[in-house]
Amino acid sequence: MTTSRRNFLKGAAVAGGLTTFGFGYSHTAQQLLRGAWAGDKPAHPISGKAPSPEFTVDPETGELKANPDQYMAYTMCEGCTTMCGVRVRIDKKENQILRVTGNPYHMLSIDEHIPYSTPVKESFVSLSRFREQGLTGRSTACGRGNAVLSKITDPNRVRVPLKRIGPRGSGQWAPISPEQLLQEVVEGGDLFGEGHVDGLRAIRDLQTPIDPENPEFGPRANQLAVMSWFKNGRLGFAARFAKQSFGTVNFTGHSAYCGMSMRAGYAALLGNWKQQPHLKPDFANAEFLLFIGTAPGNAGKPFKRQGQQIAKARSSGNTKYVVVDPVLNNSDSMAAGENSRWVPIKPNTDGALVMGMIRWILENQRYDETFLRQPNADAAKAAGEVSWSNASHLVVVESDHPLEGQFLRASDLQLFSGDAAKSPFVVIDQQSGKPVNQQESGPAELFYQGRLTLADGSKVKVKTSLSLLREEAEKQTLEEYAADCGVPVSTIEELAREFTAHGKRSAADCHGGTMGSNGFYTAYAIVMLNALVGNINAKGGTSAGGGHFREIAPGPRYNLKKFPGMVKARGVGLGRQGFPYEKSSEYKRKVAAGQNPYPARAPWYSLSSAVASEFLTSAINGYPYPLKALILWSSNPLYGVAGLRQQVQTKLADPATLPLIVSIDPFINETNTYADYIVPDSVLYESWGWSSVWSNLTKVSTARWPVIEPAQVKDQNGTPVCMEWFFIEVGKRLGLPGFGNNAIQAASGEIHPLNRPEDFYLRAAANAAFDGSIVPDAEMEELELTGVERLMDDLKSVLKADEWKKAAYLYARGGRFEDLSRAYQGDALARRYNHTVQIYDEKLATTRNSMSGKRYIGTPTWIKPSLADGTTLESQFPASAWPYKVISTKSPYMSSHTTGIQKLQQFHPSNAILMHTDDAAKIGIESGDKIRVITPGGIIKGPALVRDGIRPGVLGIEHGFGHRELGARRHRIGDQFTQPSTLAGMGVNINDLGFADPLREGASVLADWVVGSAARQGLPARVEPA
């Protein structure tokens, strides 16, 4: 090759119009043209300027020699929401992280994690060439995990408390001391020269009602809302402050604008609306996998692990899978041959496809009859099943009867003499053909329909749950379902046939792709496929997770869930969630006045546990009530909720609407740019925490601990300012229970303090160490190798003499993990979901939509995208005017967590708008041309990426770009100005296209009409050249 490297780089920058290369790789190119090529002499002839190895292993003997200048800490990554266990390589002298790789003890970072009893030194050896262990047992971190650590040293990171000194949103801040921050937030006053602002002390009133005419709204303490992040190991601490100590009901995570529709679908299937457990496939043993609304390799949880498992399974030839998605993504590959398949579908029509499959499965009797016939746990066990369902349970379907929509109770037929509220249900016994107490029956009839005589002599019409599901599936023909979803009848039949051809070793999975305005029923239908083949708790089927050790819990050593004086928050939440509209004073007043109580002023989501996407619009509308203060912890809803920014940003900029906004965050984002105060927080490997994982078959408790010294400011006592510090100090100033010197109760009865984060999290470690079989004491050598020796003083001062070495044993391994050998019991999972699977969900079926007054349907059904009262979206935004549908996609590299990380954005600096070749040709567009996308709520402009791998009529926009903050905008802090990054602001944000529900009054966002999850998929749009 005669072309010089320099000329090659010049050519690569222009070939095919690849301006991305020239822009993103400019720094890399400069580095390539220096170094050895420019005459610099590297420190090492092979490794160049790379740091010296953290340890060496003799390939013949396996002897390990550690580098005395470094240590390898096992902790948790936060490059996405998967939360993998990692090992972090640290320069002791510089307090600097050099590299991040995988933790071989952790199931998300290695194919088969090593036994937990393995000494730490041997865990290092297992990664080496000794006996080629490093090839068979590679433990890795993904690209995000390695690159995201640059957030620790990001020049735009907030390291000191900030107070706004200009109008809200003006980007003008003054650094203040931690003590001033606490004084002003707690006590309030004329803080900004704009008039008096109530502090948290004035707001924390647990006695006075917000509105005496609506006492169900609860006390004034509810006028504080705390919007938080995800379950990253610290969420429980924030909830402790908000709900159990301050006493507000308004505490929420981000689920409502992440994957809440999926969670709600599983809540219906598993009969647990409060906790919303969910199932994930047993990837290692499944023979057929159906992914709808999720894409392993691009998205889903656990992101990295399931991608590894899918790649291994399809390579071995033992597993086939199908991805149903409007966009062809990384999940399908020519290299996989016949083992993978892409089925392009119209956005938001997955429910039609699946209900077509369900119809075919029921008509052709391809369901697991043995499983479905078992009406209780004992019958299931006798039949050799590992789960059971209510498929045979009888439902009252008599129109206008008081029991309509409810299960027929055994007490209704005098088949049960105990407390009627605890009565079992009724089935038709298969052997006798008679109605019997469900708990006393063996296999039962699946499709009974008839009339039964109640104890009072009246008769009611009843049908089994499975009969009702069949009726819903038969509402349309396969041809009609195919027309709705754009998938041929033959493909629907093929998918149904294949899904039912593997016994219990088929599994259906879904996630954020269901986040449309019909997302709940879509998700319920998808996950119902798992019930029809009886795969719950089965090897190769689906798992509700292996759980975790009792760390942040009422544990064996300390109770970290309850404490003396703990408050039980009460009242209706801002999202009007978890409370029936029919119990509200508004409803009762309308009925008393002889009015139709429907519609309510805005939707009430009584089935949901938290609806974060409604918090800000509800506060601005003053319904159910306004807020006086908002605390944001690593929360950015104005970026993450489709359409929210357009609805609320002007009002948030006005302190008269929401008087006090405090953000706890290491960065300035699109939401906290409107804050009054910003509290710095720890980042990644500076934090404490205890988390579990998605899709685990065994118990997992992953430890987070400060493996390096936190970079943010410290208070007068030397404690780093962070989320935990803020809540502790506020709690102490207010005299709240659960903080200060009398906060944590030991199992032995004594009370311990909570004055620092260590007081909480180290005791959680002791709980995990003593849960079940007690772990051994850590060896001093292990603490030195892993850097846990940094915690020695805290371990000894916080924990008891018999606890600290055992807690150290956990930190030296990055948590506590059950061995893989505990995952299975024969052909069943060892850790199981031991509750009735709901073919029909009674709670759903007896709940009314607060806007229309109509009851919801109790089984999966095909519902077209809808507005809040069930009106179709199409009726307001017809395809004739809005011919395209916009959906979000995911990048395997970039996410909202990785904004501004140069290592990633050097090769993926921006997103584009995906468009089908035929659609582009119609308007004369080629890849790279600018197009304008218009929806009822917004307009964005960006480059088109024209390809065949997207369904015609669909526009795909990769999430994680299009930021206005997070380094994209200049801020003044004191007399200094931040330096904006061009990379941080590149691309477009799909959520800028979101819009309000046109049938609702005031500020609103388009949401699922049943559970309220924010709708970002299938937005109606049109497109034109820009």
Per-residue model confidence as pLDDT tens digits over 382-401: 999 999 999 999 999 999 99
pLDDT for the residue 905: 81
3-state secondary structure (DSSP) of residue 456: coil
Let me know the angle formed at the C-alpha of 768 by 765 and 773, rounded to the nearest 5 degrees: 140
pLDDT level of residue 614 (50, 70, 90 thresholds): very high
Say if residue 928's pLDDT is above 50.
yes
Q: HEC string of 670-735?
A: CCHHHCCEEECCCCHHHCCEEECCCCCCCCEEEEECCCCCCCCCECCCCCECCHHHHHHHHHHHHC
C-alpha span between 93 and 141 (Å, rounded): 24
pLDDT digits (tens, 9 = 90+) for 140-152: 888 888 888 889 9
Q: Return phi, psi of residue 451, to 5°.
A: -120, 140
Where do runs of H (alpha helix) occur along 200-320? 200-203, 235-239, 260-270, 303-316
Q: Which residues contact 1020 (CB under 8 A, 6 or more apart)?
A: 873, 877, 879, 882, 884, 885, 886, 935, 936
pLDDT at 3: 35
From CA 750, how far away is CA 409, in angstroms rounded?
A: 47
Q: Per-residue pLDDT for 298 more than 90? A: no
Lowest mean pLDDT among 282-286, 370-374, 896-900: 896-900
CA distance linking residue 910 with residue 986, whole number of Å: 5
Distances (CA, A) of 74 to 77, 87, 757: 10, 4, 19
* Listed range (290-299, 722-731, 865-874) with the worst mean pLDDT: 290-299
Give CA angle at 931 (928, 932), nearest 5°: 155
Asked if residues 321 and 340 have their Cβ atoms less than 8 Å apart, the reply is: yes
- For residue 323, give both structure tokens: 């991805």
Q: Note the pLDDT of residue 937.
A: 97
Question: How far, in Å, CA of 572 to CA of 595, rounded?
Answer: 23
**Using CA atoms, how far apart are residues 888 and 1016, in angstroms rounded to an integer?**
7
What's the rounded Cα separation, in Å, for the pair 298 and 279?
A: 19
* pLDDT at residue 20 is higher than 50: no
Distance CA 429, CA 440 (A): 9
Distance, in Å, from the CA atom of 664 to the CA atom of 158, rounded to the nearest integer, reads: 10
689-691 and 700-704 as β-strands: parallel, antiparallel, unpaired?
A: antiparallel
Q: Are strands 162-164 and 677-679 parallel, antiparallel or unpaired?
A: antiparallel
With both helix axes pointing from N to C terminus, report the angle between 519-532 and 350-363 in degrees, rounded to the nearest 10. Answer: 30
Judge whether 141 and 109 are in contact, CB under 8 Å. Answer: yes
pLDDT at 33: 45
Distance CA 873, CA 870 (A): 9
Nearest-10 crossing angle of helices 519-532, 260-270: 40
In this predicted structure, the answer to whether residue 38 has a pLDDT above a threshold of 70 is no
Instruction: Give strand ranges (E) for 190-336.
Output: 197-198, 224-227, 251-252, 280-281, 288-292, 320-324
Q: In what order do the strands lie in the sheet with 629-633?
A: 251-252, 224-227, 629-633, 660-664, 677-679, 162-164, 172-175, 972-973, 976-977
Q: Is 234 helix (H, G, I), strand (E, B) or coil?
A: coil
Residues 549, 699: contact at Cβ < 8 Å? yes
Phi then psi dihedrals of residue 321, to 5 deg: -150, 160
For residue 883, say if its preceding peptide bond is cis, omega within 30 degrees of 0. Answer: no
| Residue reference for tokens 């996950």 | 527
Distance CA 904, CA 890 (A): 14
Contact 85, 101 (CB under 8 A): no
Pairing state between β 629-633 and 913-916: unpaired
| Domains recognised in the chain with CATH numbers | 1-50 (no CATH), 199-259+564-685 (3.40.50), 370-471 (no CATH)
Tell me, what's the pLDDT at 14? 31
Confidence of residue 771 (pLDDT cuts 50, 70, 90): very high
Residue 15: pLDDT band (50, 70, 90) is very low
Cβ atoms of 63 and 72 closer than 8 Å: no
Q: Please give the average per-residue pLDDT across 281-309, as a whole number.
A: 85
Region class of 513: left (phi > 0), else alpha (psi between -120 and 50), else beta: alpha
Matching residue, tokens 């020699």: 65
Question: Is 721 in contact with 679 (CB distance < 8 Å)?
Answer: yes
The pTM for the full model equals 0.94
* CB 368, CB 532: distance < 8 Å: yes
Q: What is the pLDDT of residue 872?
A: 97
Mean per-residue pLDDT for 208-233? 95
Which residue type, as a one-letter code, is found at position 765?
Answer: A
The torsion angle over the Cα atoms of residues 639, 642, 646 and 651, rounded to 10 degrees, is -70
262 token code pair: 């999926």
Q: Please, is 153 exposed, middle or buried when counting C-beta atoms within 10 Å of its C-beta (0-12, 13-18, 19+)? A: exposed
Tokens of 13: 């920058």
Q: How far apart are CA 524 and CA 541, in angstroms?
A: 17
Mean pLDDT of 220-246: 95
Cα separation of 266 and 911, whole Å?
32
Contact indicator for 103, 139 with CB cutoff of 8 Å: yes
Most distant CA atoms of the chain, gap in Å: 99
* pLDDT over 80 at 6, yes or no: no
Q: Which helix (H) or strand (E) holds 28?
A: helix 26-32
For residues 46-82, one letter each, b for 16 or more C-beta atoms within 10 angstroms of the residue's C-beta and e for the rest, the string is eeeeeeeebbebeeeebebebbeebbbbbbbbbbbbb
* Average pLDDT for 255-272: 94
Choose between 610 and 833: higher pLDDT: 833
Q: What pLDDT sits at residue 132?
A: 83
pLDDT confidence bin for 906, thresholds 50/70/90: confident
pLDDT value, residue 7: 34
Q: Please tell me the distance from the alpha carbon of residue 278 to that of residue 261, in angstroms, as a whole number.
A: 11
Which of the residue ranges 32-36, 536-540, 1003-1007 would you say has the lowest mean pLDDT?
A: 32-36
State the DSSP code for 429: B
Tokens of 863: 């519902």
Q: Considering only residues 65 and 21, tell me which one the structure prediction assigns the higher pLDDT.
A: 65
Residue 36: per-residue pLDDT: 44
Q: Which residues pair with 631 in a beta bridge?
A: 226, 662
Residue 593: Cβ-neighbour burial (10 angstroms; 0-12, 13-18, 19+): exposed
* Inter-residue contact 296 to 82 (CB < 8 Å): no
Q: Which H or E element spans position 761?
A: helix 757-770
For the ranges 29-38, 197-206, 259-268, the lowest mean pLDDT is seen at 29-38
Q: What is the DSSP letter of 335?
A: G
What is the torsional sign of CA 498, 499, 505, 508?
A: positive
Considering only CA atoms, which of 278, 328, 285 is closest in space to residue 301? 278
Give the dihedral sign, CA 815/818/821/823: negative
Tokens of 924: 């004369």
Mean pLDDT for the stretch of residues 537-550: 95
Q: Determine the pLDDT at residue 39.
A: 56
